[in-house]
Chain A
């Protein structure tokens, strides 16, 4: 009887069973891992960028999704300064009379634009997502 019970216990947690369990968990882990990698790749396509144009020409691209917070001026226009903070960008300390570029505030969703007309500098947010879900803004 004792022998049978011992045999029964061994049958419940046999090495073979543990091996199978580990194999199955490994396969499941790999499946999740593969999906996670695909997810990362898909997310990479949705990166938001700020494209800065000077005289209509693209002079700088700032990665807003994975970039760092910074303040910088353009080589082409030292009077125009940008601040990048928490995935958004804005004009600061613009040496222009109307300061309309600064009034535009932080830009951080696709299709947003702001411009410093006197300095002929524009910034445009490019990406797949737009919080306002519009293709253009009138006004």
Chain B
């Protein structure tokens, strides 16, 4: 009888333990849920706005006030989109009547006065000419005749004949851009010349957006212009934005070479994977070499430039991509105003020293940090 009584007590205690265990488990889980929900309530809400401008997709995330008001973020995001559309209408060679189209239409016409330009267009064109000089023509915004000939971003791209390429190439020369500082006007000195600001316009747009976010008192925003990324401030929790670097060897946009944090910086990347077409089994990408008139042949798979100056970053990513690894490596650590992430065709990744603590390489995809990194 004593034995039965002992068993009964044991069973009862076990059941009570199961019950209390269940209740404790439930209480812990409920508490965990509550804790997970708490920051969501306190965290300033974000406003996301996507759209198209400057021939690419625009993605904006702006965070609202601490008290949860999103009105200001919504207003600024919409103004940003308007700003980008205004810039496109000024700077695009594909928009009929844009300031750049007006200059192109009047190329070489001496009897026509120079085209008067807005502050945006004049500032960017002046920079572009200077970049042409600094890069000895490797970055040349008068590449328009070749861009139009190949039509890689258009509906009917094709491989032109050598004669066509030679002719178009003869019109490419940044030194023939004539600028009038006082009148803020410009003209192209030779007929058939054509400006194409596609290599720096998005970077410049990032600069304008950054200035606007600062002026509007926005603390935290992440804006992407077709792969050019502006990381403004930190996430509401105080954490830096994490920016992935696309794998240039993969067609899947989710594959990353690695990720980095770059507070208040603009990232510009150039790679062959961005835009291309195939003809007779060969792939032709969109980065044209002004020296040859053909898509550039390079030993780099992608070049990413990290800088506070978006225009500079955009220009340099194209220039170093065309120039190749040897030239890019010479500039890896010699400029405080920008940092580089170079991925070569053998999947070696070269980092500027200033990025070493903020970059994490993806494991298992065959990428390796090059020696000295």
Contacts and interface: CB of A to CB of B under 8 A. Distances in A.
Interface in B127-180: 152-157
B253 A21 contact: no
Interface of B: 1, 4-5, 7-8, 11-12, 15-16, 18-19, 22-23, 25-26, 29-30, 33, 36, 48, 50-53, 55-59, 61, 81, 152-157, 222, 224, 226-229, 231, 235, 241-246, 248, 251-254, 256, 259, 267-269, 271, 273-277, 302, 304
Contacts of A126: 48
Contacts of A39: 29
Given A24-B19, A35-B26, A117 B56 contact: yes
Contact of B275 (A98, A135, A137): A98
A78 interface: no
A103 interface: yes
A37 to B, nearest CB: 11
B252 A104 contact: yes
B210 to A, nearest CB: 15
Contacts of A67: none
A62 interface: no
Contacts of B58: 56
Interface in A3-55: 4-5, 7-9, 11-12, 17, 20-21, 24-25, 27-28, 31-32, 34-35, 38-39, 42, 51, 53, 55
A113 B59 contact: yes
**Most-contacted residue by chain A among B53, B57, B228, B256 (CB, 10 A):** B57
A20 to B, nearest CB: 8
A113 B253 contact: yes
A139 B235 contact: no
A76 interface: no
12 contacts: A53-B50, A55-B52, A97-B156, A100-B275, A113-B57, A117-B52, A132-B259, A133-B242, A133-B259, A136-B59, A136-B222, A137-B246
Contact of B244 (A12, A24, A117, A136): A136
A11 B50 contact: no
A107 interface: yes
A138 B254 contact: no
Interface residues of A, number: 54
A124 B242 contact: no
A84 interface: no
**Most-contacted residue by chain A among B154, B227, B253 (CB, 10 A):** B253
A59 to B, nearest CB: 12
Question: Taking chain A's interface residues, is the majority helix, strand, or loop, or is none over half, making it mixed?
Answer: mixed
A60 interface: no
A24 B17 CA distance: 10
B5 A11 contact: yes
Nearest to A120: B52
Contacts of A118: 155
A122 to B, nearest CB: 5
Given A56-B52, A56-B53, 11 more contacts: A8-B4, A21-B15, A24-B16, A98-B157, A100-B274, A122-B50, A132-B256, A134-B244, A136-B244, A137-B244, A138-B267
Given A24-B15, A104-B252, A112-B254, A136 B229 contact: yes
Contact of A31 (B23, B245, B246): B23
B251 A104 contact: yes
A122 B256 CA distance: 20
Contacts of B1: 4-5, 7-8, 11
A105 B251 contact: yes
B84 to A, nearest CB: 11
A120 to B, nearest CB: 5
Given A138-B228, A139-B271, A122 B57 contact: yes
